[in-house]
Structure formats: C-alpha cells, structure tokens
Amino acid sequence: MATSQSRQLHRLSALRVGKLVDPGYYPDGGGLCFQISASGSRSWIFQFRLFGRSREMGLGPISTVSLSQARAEAARCRALLKDKIDPIEARNEAQRRAAVEGSRQFRIAAAEYIENNRRSWKNIKHAKQWTSTLATYAHPTIGDRDVKDIDTAMIVRILQPIWADKRETASRVRGRIETILDAEKVLGYRGGENPARWRGHLDKVLAKRKRAAVQHHPAMPWSDIPEFITKLEAKEEEGARSAIMLHLLILAAARTNEVQFAAPEEFNLKTRIWTIPGERMKTGIPHRVPLCDKACGLVEKALKMAKWG
C-alpha cells in the first residue's frame, strides 16, 4: 500500500490547480485531493479509510493553504493512520487542548465556522451574508474576545441598538452567534450555557416581536385574464423582457426566482421540458416542468434576445 501510494504522489502542480474550474475532486495522491464545489469554493480535502470507514477531512481553502502546505498536512495525516490514529479525532483533541491552554478569538472561530460550512449551504450568498453581518454588528464588541469569555451582557450590547429598527437583521445576527458558540462548545473552547440562546434566556430581556397581519395579494378575476394576456402579448411583441418572463412564469406555474435565474441549458425544447436544478429548489431536488407550445415560443424568443446566458 505504501509503495503504491508513493508512486501516485504529487500528481498536481500549482499551475494546473490555478487553471481548474470545473466542480469535482482532483487527486494529488496519497489521499490528498483538490476540491471545487458546485458553489465554486476551492479547498483541500484528505480522504482516508480507517477501521472499515471512509472519511473526508478538510485541510483548508486554497486561499490560505498552498499546495506544499496541503501535502505536508496530508503526509502528517498518513503518518497518524499508520499508527491507526484517526487524523480528524487527533485534530479535534489538539483543538480541545489548545482551548484549555490558550485563547480563541471569536472572529477566528466565526471565520473557521463559515469556511467549514460553506459547502453545505445551498445558497452561495450565505457565506458572504454571515461574514458581512458578523463583521458589522458582532466583531466590534466580541470579535477580539476569547469565546469562553463571551457573556449575555455582551450579546445584549450587540443586539439592543438594532433590535427595534432592524429586527430581522438582529435575529439573524443572534442566531449566527449562537450557532458559532455552540460549535465552539463542541470543540472544547468554551463551556456553560450559550449566552446568545433565545428561548428562556434573551427572550426575557429583549422585546418579543408582534406578528404583523399577513396581507395576501388578491387573485385576478378569471374574467379579466383574456384581456390581461392580450396586453401581455402586445408587450412581448415590443420586446419587453419582463412581459416574456411573466408570461412564462404564468404558463409554467413557476416562482419568480426560478424564471429570473434560469439558464439556457435548463431548457430542452426538443423534449419540451424545463429542468430546474436542485440547488435552486427549496427541496434540493431537480424539478421538471413540461412546456406547452406557447411556453416553448417564449423561451425561444428570450434566447434570441440573449436575455439568458
């Protein structure tokens, strides 16, 4: 096994890694892989098998871990495996020891949490939103604080100024801080109750939100539809993109974002099927929409206008 692995080492080069763009795993050998996720994130992965179980260990993004550094870390992991030591468990134990021996800044914990979880988030904007909101609202107060020293008073100091006027933002900031501190407790960097917890804790200090009455848009009377469609088609003849998209949305019974972010390769006009990828569906499962003659015509018109792609 060792001889076979050594012959397969160092398949990649820094130049080749820089040119790779397609999502997938690119092996360097000895368990080390360069990964490009569907969202476009680029990172190093160490794959191994121990006690009949296959596992993957993230070694960090390419922006902070070079090819040579990733190889050195992979070599260290292979050395642990020779002694039947799980490198993931070894790293977790090292982090627990570090938590006891030293400090761990919240901003570092937040950055690591975001990087470790960005591949599992369906929307690629989530990582940017987490980074932005924490930098704006949390870091000025607790960014340089040791995670084990963060208390309820600090969380209230962060949330109170925005709780009334920016309630949705404040709620997200609170939830993100709570999640990060929960993760830090699992890693051994802090103990005790989570100071950002809402139920039975912050809900005793911060005012509860009053639920606004839901105002639904009234449906168009069925008798008005023929006139509306006639006006819509007149706008289409004038080349109005919004009219084309709205008409397709109606015929396909689709959501606005499904039409807005549609790509040319999603449409197969031969089979008259529009396949919406799973990453743009709430269920995470691809959705196939049959297209009528009119819908196919709208798609063709949009493609000729270069409105997609």
* Residue of 261 and 78 predicted with greater confidence: 78
What one-character-per-residue DSSP string does 216-246 give?
PPPPPPGGGHHHHHHHHHHHHHTT-HHHHHH
pLDDT in tens, 139-193: 999 999 999 999 999 999 999 999 988 989 999 999 999 999 999 998 888 888 9
For helices 87-101 and 167-187, what crossing angle results, to 10°? 100
Per-residue pLDDT at 120 exceeds 90:
no
Is 116 part of a structural domain of the chain? no
pLDDT in tens, 185-237: 988 888 889 999 999 899 888 877 666 666 778 888 989 999 999 998 898 88
Is 214 part of a structural domain of the chain? no
What's the confidence (pLDDT) of residue 210? 64
Residue 242: which pLDDT band, with cuts at 50, 70 and 90? confident
Q: What is the CATH number of the domain that holds 50?
A: 3.30.160.390
Residues 140 and 228 in one domain: no
Helix (H) or strand (E) holding 17: helix 14-19
pLDDT in tens, 53-89: 999 999 989 888 899 999 999 999 999 999 999 999 9
Residues 195 and 229 in one domain: no
Place of tokens 């799973």: 278
Place of tokens 């690629």: 124
Cα→Cα distances 160→36, 149, 156, 269, Å: 40, 20, 6, 54
pLDDT in tens, 19-43: 999 999 999 999 999 999 988 899 9
What one-character-per-residue DSSP string does 120-152 give?
G-SSTHHHHHHHHHIIIIIHHHHTTSBGGG--H
Is 26 part of a structural domain of the chain? yes
Strands (E), the chain: 24-29, 32-36, 42-50, 53-61, 267-268, 273-276, 287-290
Residues 7 and 87 in one domain: yes
Residues 67 and 34 in one domain: yes
Residues 172 and 241 in one domain: no
Is 16 part of a structural domain of the chain? yes
What's the confidence (pLDDT) of residue 259? 87
Report the alpha-carbon distance of residue 22 to residue 39 in Å, rounded.
11
**Structural domains counted in the chain:** 3
Residues 193 and 146 in one domain: yes
Longest Cα–Cα distance in the chain: 78
Q: Which of 204, 238, 258 is the last residue of a domain?
A: 204
Residues 267 and 183 in one domain: no
Is 210 part of a structural domain of the chain? no
CA-derived radius of gyration, the chain: 26
What's the confidence (pLDDT) of residue 306? 60
Reduced to 3 states (helix: H, G, I; strand: E, B; else coil), residue 196 is coil
Is 217 part of a structural domain of the chain? no
Per-residue pLDDT at 137 exceeds 80:
yes
Is 192 part of a structural domain of the chain? yes
The domain in which residue 184 lies consists of: 127-204
Q: Which of 171, 204, 237 is the last residue of a domain?
A: 204
* Predicted model pTM: 0.46
Q: Other CB atoms closer than 10 Å to residue 34's CB: what's the count?
A: 21
Average pLDDT, the chain: 87
Q: What is the CATH number of the domain that holds 187?
A: 1.10.150.130
Is 109 part of a structural domain of the chain? no
Reduced to 3 states (helix: H, G, I; strand: E, B; else coil), residue 260 is helix
Q: What is the CATH number of the domain that holds 254?
A: 1.10.443.10
